[in-house]
Amino acid sequence: MLRAPLKPKQLSIPARSTKLAKLRCAHVSFRLAGAVPLRQVLDKRGARLNATREQRISSTAMYAEDQSLVVEIREARPELALELVEPPNRLGLGEEASTTLRLTNVGRVPIADLRVLADKPDVLLLGAHDEHGEQHHVIVAEARD
């Protein structure tokens, strides 16, 4: 696939890590047209430092460390998929309707704590399905000002 010069492209690079860390991408190696091996150094400067008098009057500009190429490896988290089940086609102003928002944890880590924020908790009914598919309603309406 050929790209125009200076045309940005977002890349997804699958990776695994055995420990938590912050890493900086220092270079990219690739093959041009599948044949010519190339290496592009990603040496970027951060923002120009201007906070102190010394930084402002310095004969050589001072720059912060670049953070745009830093990859942070964090602990695994649950991933939620949301599905609105049979939503109404249209509603009039002030009209209420009942629908289901199905939340499914598609990640590999179990959910330890799930919270819902609603502006009208008195009309919110939460339910859950157990391992047998039985639905149980859980009413946890706590109004906060």
Indicate whether 131 and 100 sit together in one domain.
yes
Are 99 and 88 in contact by the 8 Å Cβ rule? The answer is yes
Q: Indicate whether 81 pLDDT > 90.
A: yes
How confident is the model over 4-31, as a mean pLDDT?
81
Q: Does residue 23 sit in helix, strand or coil?
A: strand
Amino acid at 39: R
Q: Which residue, among 145, 105, 96, has the nearest Cα to 125 in the 3D structure?
A: 96
Task: Band the pLDDT of 145: cuts 50, 70, 90.
Answer: low
> What backbone torsions phi and psi does residue 54 show, to the nearest 5 degrees?
-60, -40
Q: Indicate whether 2 pLDDT > 70.
A: no
pLDDT of residue 137: 61
Indicate whether 86 and 128 sit together in one domain.
yes
Give percent of the chain with pLDDT exceeding 70. 88
Indicate whether 84 and 131 sit together in one domain.
yes
Number of domains in the chain: 2
* 5-9, 20-24, 34-38, 45-49: least confident range: 5-9
Are 115 and 126 in contact by the 8 Å Cβ rule? The answer is no
Amino acid at 99: T
pLDDT tens string 15-28: 778 889 888 888 88
Residue 113 in any domain: the answer is: yes
Range of the domain at 110: 80-138
Indicate whether 67 and 103 sit together in one domain.
no
Residue spans of alpha helices (H) in the chain: 53-57
Give percent of the chain with pLDDT exceeding 90. 10
How confident is the model over 112-139, as a mean pLDDT?
73
Residues 102, 107, 109, 114: is their CA dihedral positive or negative? negative
